[in-house]
Structure 1
Amino acid sequence: MATADTMYQTVLRESARHVTLDLRAVTFFDSAAIHAVVRLAQQLPGAFTVLPSRQVLRVLEISGLGEQGWLARP
């Protein structure tokens, strides 16, 4: 929760054709982080990829987001 908004703002501040959010080292992923990732996916349609850790993937699957096109599978 403490870093979700910072992550969101940082990604949007940078100019890029495609953004890959590398979360492979993340061990805790809460609803604030889910919200930030979903907002980024909406802001960057077709230009956003998330590389999840096992824990992040599990949380996204439980949240019903496991089949999103922006979610890379290991």
Structure 2
Amino acid sequence: MSRYPGSVHDSAVWMTSQIRNHLVENYQNRDRYSWLLGDSGYPLEPWLINAVHGHDLNEHELNFNRAVLSTRNVSERLNGVLKS
């Protein structure tokens, strides 16, 4: 049986997930080397990396966004393969 039947937003599931709880606990224990890539649908947290938003991004922010989006693209394709 599904823990979240029906239509539940991903960020609502995220807020109660075991992975998030694990990352919160690790962060509180001074772990600053564990991160996840997210998208704008998730809240920014110290361990959840999102692309930088804005109109006047500098070169470093643009490079960061390219790296984040490129990595997310790979993981999204993998998720598609796993779902099929």
Larger % of strand: which?
1
**Normalised-by-shorter TM-score class:** 0.3 to 0.5
- Select the structure of larger CA radius of gyration: 2
Larger % of helix: which?
2
Structure 1 length-normalised TM: 0.33
Structure 2 length-normalised TM: 0.30
